[in-house]
Structure 1
């Protein structure tokens, strides 16, 4: 009887998913729990396994099409309707090499081994192992689930307290999960590329002398290591000769033999749903597309040769470095040729040397103005970009936002910074920028005006005036805007804020930020002036009620009052500060009072004690 494959519910509040890739095509055979297709939602990218064994007779939803939860995606014919059922026989023979009966090539015998073998590599179960359970942590606000992208330890291996155990990905962050205890990994309950809810058990860790019941399970990805007998490698020999071995009942067992015939054709390997060296997870594939990395040129460093996220990042950085080196070499060569040409021209015609030199000087400017590679392209939104888009619109819909701007003279701070920045960097190891001055003054102003450091709950009819200042700092990261939070910023001085800002920004851009560091903020700073903008009207980061936009510090002529000369025009370092606030709880007068307090603190410029001057 045909079996319908439907769109599963991939997390709370998820009502639909987009088919990004079919791993099997119509007419191909599929086994129970073998990856059938890849689906993407705003929360997770994942594989959908086949609910039954048989032949994929019809694909209902094509690639790049969206379907509601519960709708039909494909139809799989029953066992009796499969005409190509002889293919699984060689693979089954190899799987049962440790038994004295090599035969049983018939279709009915393939289903049971698939059910017996498949759970081993997926769960790495240690039987009835008892110990400490490792659960999926809450990886940020509103995150209800996470996807296991890589296990750093396997069943039977020892691990120390706080040693990284696995890598997990969500729509907000990719991070490592440390072990809560020291001991031996007894059981892995959630395999790689599968999603688990927050609080779900991921693994079990026992005492250091514990013996897991299924210790050989980690070797499952490599068939030669699976069988403990010395004869097992010989049993694999006929498997490599079988042209249809990719349809084996247990796809993770068959993957090693698939890699050999597929090597000359990387595209064929990439279309395979098994976890071999040519296969990458949807998360890694999207990252490669964003960074322009050709996956067929990479050698994976993951388990079984799998290409990991870090492999893609390293390849992108290497390519960028090589490109920069090539551009530098070309520029140096051009400069040398230009100098030689100018020298030769000057020797022949001194009077015409200047015009002659001017002509080639203009050429490089045109050569540098290359069009962006994004021009003329249409591509899918990344999950984080789609999430940012949704949350920005939601913020404008749920709160009454208004922006007030003031102009601040920060000449005294600019002079202090120029005087102290060399000693400050030598002492604290970070550059002294304008941002920590603004951060310190903001925290002090929030302490005086708690209404700007609050959150509103209309359903409960309450407003919470926070007892601490948890300052969010908007960071322009490669994958999109991320807002890490400096917890208890009010307890830090200028040097402390400088270090925390530099540390958070660096780890955010290098994707090393922890999930507990991007939630819980009570107020946010966004430094749009770092790219030259005078000011903007930033959107509030919900459920906060205020965000401060910092414009560019610009030196320009300003009328000032001199004690002796009266009003004079003098060059001053000026900046615009734009406060967007929730008018449901913050009135215009409240916003103005907050900004005036901030302006007076910055213009007074009394930071000598913080700088040791």
Structure 2
């Protein structure tokens, strides 16, 4: 039976996606919920799991091609169903048809027919209660298994936490729906499954061995041809496929005294290594990428996941162990003040440009080519704010649950100034020949993420105090760095702030994003001697905390005088530093 693989909805505002990489080739076998391909959108990169087990019969969308949500990506032939339709039913019907032709062995086929049908039911997995991925939110359509808390064969109690699942909205534990033994795990760690997908099977303890007998098939398989050679020749070439275990388990119940004897001897010898090799052979793209970035050899990593699967935590631990393995090399740089600089593994390589970098590049080129951009810079003394922050940061962190960085002060000053200078918080509607002056301040905060620069939006920032801005900034930055940001969190900005000084830059000529007319760049805060006009001492030199603020703007709407007035207002608010009440001083 053919199963269609389609592009799922990946967010309310996402209408299309680009296939970046196929993880399976045509003709390869895939398991249900196993990662099948990687898809990139302008908001998020994700893996698409196989909706069913089988053989990847046809790929409809090639790599680097873009399709709309709901489009057909590939076709999977039901790997367990298609061969079963050709072999298992054929065997079941053959004895019935041959019975009249061969009167003497008629009784044997009559008994074998039900024996072959009995194993066919558990061929897809152990019998018991299914553990499925529940709905975890209105817009959540899939989740990734991050950790199994139980292993196959362990006892579980009803409602006992069974596994941990991560989505783009929440991380949670999935409880066991019933008490019993964990018979089978269908979705491995770091694999993604859709809501409603079957994750595992819980049943009675006696049902677990039924699953273990399937790999022990090779011993009985050799006895079966001796009794019915003509009937075993047809399915013999399909021995590696899914129906093979069904044929093997059929004769096992017949010779009750003989079959169990070779089964235990064969099970530890052949199937166990095969299962280990299968787990070691496949790692998720996330783990593979993490290993490449940290120069970790996956062959030397011992997996702690179910069945020995390598998890991202194993790669991180291996990378940390490698850093600590050379104390002599680490001691040499410690003696010197110069930082140790290691050569990047990207040197000398030509790699494919990630989809996210293409999107960022296209947006930047669109902004530069579509606007008349230039930058104005002012210098600001934020000594009062830094002293205020040092006094309040400990109590603030305990009260609000987030750290008090200088960033919320800059955001607060910027949005207050936007209310007085709406020309900087506007949009040019080129098609209509109009200008929209916004009555709300939705501020995009540029965040340096692993995949590239991302800009989540603080909605209604003009209505928030310092604590509200600090909490919202920390929440959005955390979502970006843990890949849990949603498309809705990235849209609707009317103005943007970029803290380029967080990496030590004094100032930067930041680029105004599309559909906006201004962006504020915050430079590094440095201590240096400054001439201060003291009320009693007159002009004197003092060490002050100084920073540069750079406003890039679209000159089609914002004039240099407008930019200067806006920056002056921001400067006055920051240097006045009247934030004591908001931070609890």
TM class by shorter chain equals 0.5 to 0.7
Change (3 A) 1:611 1:32: closer
In structure 1, C-alpha distance between the alignment counterparts of 2:90 and 2:329, rounded to whole Å: 59
The residue number in structure 1 matching 2:314 is 315
Change (3 A) 1:125 1:593: same
1:286 equivalent among 284, 289, 295? 289
C-alpha displacement of 1:232: 1.9
Q: Cα deviation per residue 1:87-120 (whole Å; 9 max; x = unaligned)? A: 9999xxxxxxxxx9777999xx99x979x949x9
The residue number in structure 2 matching 1:150 is 145
Change (3 A) 1:528 1:373: same
C-alpha displacement of 1:561: 6.1
The residue number in structure 2 matching 1:451 is 423
The answer to whether 1:299 aligns with 2:303 is yes
C-alpha displacement of 1:548: 0.9
1:550 equivalent among 509, 522, 533? 522
Change (3 A) 1:101 1:300: farther
Change (3 A) 1:316 1:420: same
Per mean C-alpha deviation after superposition, the further-off stretch among 373-382 and 287-296 is: 287-296
SS at match of 2:170: strand
The residue number in structure 1 matching 2:374 is 403
The residue number in structure 2 matching 1:355 is none
Residue ranges of structure 1 left out of the alignment (5+ in a row): 91-99, 127-132, 140-145, 169-173, 197-201, 205-216, 272-278, 336-360
The residue number in structure 2 matching 1:417 is 386
1:470·1:489 contact (CA, 8 Å) conserved in 2? Answer: yes
SS at match of 2:507: coil
Q: Provide the TM-score with structure 1 as the length reference.
A: 0.60
In structure 1, C-alpha distance between the alignment counterparts of 2:477 and 2:433, rounded to whole Å: 36
**RMSD of aligned Cα (Å):** 6.0
Q: Cα deviation per residue 1:433-453 (whole Å; 9 max; x = unaligned)? A: 432321221121122223333
In structure 1, C-alpha distance between the alignment counterparts of 2:284 and 2:18, rounded to whole Å: 20
The answer to whether 1:590 aligns with 2:585 is no
The residue number in structure 1 matching 2:497 is 525
In structure 1, C-alpha distance between the alignment counterparts of 2:545 and 2:146, rounded to whole Å: 52
The residue number in structure 1 matching 2:214 is 236
In structure 2, C-alpha distance between the alignment counterparts of 1:334 and 1:37, rounded to whole Å: 45
Alignment of 1:74-473 (within 5 A): 117=124, 134=135, 137-138=138-139, 148-150=143-145, 166-168=165-167, 174-176=168-170, 202-203=195-196, 218-220=199-201, 229=207, 232-233=210-211, 235-239=213-217, 247-248=241-242, 260-262=272-274, 265=277, 269=279, 279-296=282-299, 297-301=301-305, 311-312=311-312, 314-323=313-322, 325-326=324-325, 331=330, 368-396=340-368, 399-400=370-371, 402-410=373-381, 413-418=382-387, 421-429=390-398, 432-458=404-430, 464-473=436-445
Change (3 A) 1:555 1:247: same
Change (3 A) 1:9 1:511: closer
C-alpha displacement of 1:547: 1.8
In structure 2, C-alpha distance between the alignment counterparts of 1:475 and 1:403, rounded to whole Å: 22
1:19·1:40 contact (CA, 8 Å) conserved in 2? Answer: yes
1:600 equivalent among 572, 581, 584? 572
The residue number in structure 2 matching 1:348 is none
The residue number in structure 2 matching 1:341 is none
C-alpha displacement of 1:533: 1.2
The residue number in structure 1 matching 2:455 is 483
In structure 2, C-alpha distance between the alignment counterparts of 1:444 and 1:585, rounded to whole Å: 20
The residue number in structure 1 matching 2:251 is none
Change (3 A) 1:316 1:235: closer
In structure 2, C-alpha distance between the alignment counterparts of 1:231 and 1:476, rounded to whole Å: 51
C-alpha displacement of 1:51: 10
C-alpha displacement of 1:480: 3.0
1:536·1:551 contact (CA, 8 Å) conserved in 2? Answer: yes
Count matched residues. 501
Q: Provide the TM-score with structure 2 as the length reference.
A: 0.62
Q: Cα deviation per residue 1:277-309 (whole Å; 9 max; x = unaligned)? A: xx344444434444445445253546x7765xx
In structure 1, C-alpha distance between the alignment counterparts of 2:273 and 2:455, rounded to whole Å: 47
2:385·2:574 contact (CA, 8 Å) conserved in 1? Answer: no
C-alpha displacement of 1:528: 0.6
Change (3 A) 1:20 1:233: closer
In structure 1, C-alpha distance between the alignment counterparts of 2:569 and 2:52, rounded to whole Å: 62
C-alpha displacement of 1:23: 4.9
Per mean C-alpha deviation after superposition, the further-off stretch among 462-471 and 521-530 is: 462-471
In structure 2, C-alpha distance between the alignment counterparts of 1:166 and 1:74, rounded to whole Å: 28
Change (3 A) 1:229 1:558: closer
Change (3 A) 1:427 1:604: closer
SS at match of 2:440: coil
In structure 1, C-alpha distance between the alignment counterparts of 2:303 and 2:90, rounded to whole Å: 31
C-alpha displacement of 1:229: 4.6
SS at match of 1:247: coil
Q: Cα deviation per residue 1:116-147 (whole Å; 9 max; x = unaligned)? A: 949x99x9789xxxxxx9487558xxxxxx65
In structure 2, C-alpha distance between the alignment counterparts of 1:159 and 1:516, rounded to whole Å: 34
C-alpha displacement of 1:176: 2.6
Q: Cα deviation per residue 1:358-406 (whole Å; 9 max; x = unaligned)? A: xxx77x95x9343223222333444544443344344445x42523222
Q: Cα deviation per residue 1:249-279 (whole Å; 9 max; x = unaligned)? A: 699xx9x9997333564xx6565xxxxxxx3
1:7·1:71 contact (CA, 8 Å) conserved in 2? Answer: yes
Change (3 A) 1:457 1:239: farther
